[in-house]
């Protein structure tokens, strides 16, 4: 619809809004770098993750969010879904979309150009900034967000994500590469698994296992209409529930 009517699609999620502000006309872009906080378990020993509780998973260090998206942040599935969204929003293949952990959540994403330039959008972690940007575009408006104090603020750190610690992020890249309706299956299975975790019926570390098994069982072609998307979503949920019964059987 955007192409058909030659209109501008304004992303509001903080990462995609940041990319949009740095993307210019899209010429000469080498890659997008989506930043991620790493969630509450970035520095935890992996062996401690087996006992993670829903309340711990929902205690995000930088953002105040709903419980489901907080769990997605803890597994980094949210970043995987953002990679898939960035692919469609900015028409770039998965090979040109990278994820970089940035615990301070000050740089909301970056765009690297072929000449070596890297443009970044910075700001305090407050959703009023991207919302105000979209509401006023192409102008600017006051958002109520406090100014960023770079002189006295935290040092800015970056690290590559450990895909062994965050297997959900790897699954999202796999789904994007697989094409078809794999991303629909990924999202549906994740919603089933996260809900089960929040209800105490699935260990934290088995969220990824339910998603992986569902992706392994279903490889539907890409649908060409909304009803097809909804049908695949429903089928993926049913398959995920079946795998959930097996992975959740060891709960105390």
Half-sphere exposure of 50 (CA within 13 A, CB side): 4
Residues 70 and 207: their CA atoms lie apart, in Å, by 14
Architecture field, domain 180-252: Orthogonal Bundle (1.10)
* Structural domain boundaries in the chain: 2-178, 180-252
Average pLDDT along the chain:
92
- CB count in 10 Å sphere of residue 131: 15
The answer to whether 181 and 223 have CB atoms below 8 angstroms apart is yes
Q: Is the peptide bond before 138 cis (omega within 30 degrees of 0)?
A: yes
Per-residue pLDDT of the chain (252 residues; tens, 9 = 90+): 888 999 999 999 999 999 999 997 788 999 999 999 988 888 888 888 888 899 888 887 666 678 898 999 999 999 999 999 999 999 999 999 999 999 999 999 999 999 999 999 999 999 999 999 999 999 999 999 999 999 998 899 999 999 888 999 999 999 999 999 999 999 999 999 999 999 999 999 999 999 999 999 999 999 999 999 999 999 999 999 999 988 875 443
Smallest Cα–Cα separation from 223: which of 239, 236, 206?
236
In the block, which residue shows the tokens 């890297």?
118
pLDDT tens digit sequence for 54-72: 988 888 766 667 889 899 9
Q: 173-212: b or e for each residue (b if 16 or more CB lie within 10 Å)?
A: bbbbeeeebbbbbbbbbbbbbbbbbbeeebbbbbbbbbbb
At 164 the pLDDT is: 86
């Amino acid at each position: 619809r955007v192409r058909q009517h030659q209109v501008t699609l304004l992303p509001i999620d903080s990462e995609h809004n940041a990319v949009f502000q740095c993307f210019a006309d899209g010429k000469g872009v080498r890659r997008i770098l989506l930043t991620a906080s790493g969630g509450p378990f970035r520095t935890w020993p992996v062996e401690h993750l087996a006992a993670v509780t829903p309340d711990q998973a929902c205690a995000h260090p930088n953002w105040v969010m709903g419980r489901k998206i907080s769990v997605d942040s803890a597994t980094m599935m949210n970043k995987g879904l953002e990679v898939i969204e960035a692919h469609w929003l900015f028409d770039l293949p998965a090979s040109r979309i990278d994820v970089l952990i940035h615990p301070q959540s000050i740089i909301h994403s970056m765009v690297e150009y072929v000449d070596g330039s890297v443009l970044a959008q910075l700001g305090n972690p407050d959703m009023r900034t991207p919302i105000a940007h979209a509401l006023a575009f192409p102008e600017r408006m006051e958002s109520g967000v406090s100014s960023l104090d770079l002189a006295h603020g935290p040092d800015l750190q970056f690290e590559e994500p450990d895909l062994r610690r965050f297997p959900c992020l790897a699954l999202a890249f796999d789904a994007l590469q697989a094409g078809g309706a794999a991303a629909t299956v990924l999202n549906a299975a994740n919603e089933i698994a996260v809900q089960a975790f929040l209800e105490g019926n699935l260990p934290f570390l088995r969220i990824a296992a339910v998603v992986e098994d569902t992706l392994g069982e279903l490889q539907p072609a890409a649908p060409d209409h909304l009803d097809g998307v909804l049908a695949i979503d429903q089928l993926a949920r049913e398959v995920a529930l079946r795998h959930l019964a097996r992975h959740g059987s060891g709960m105390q």
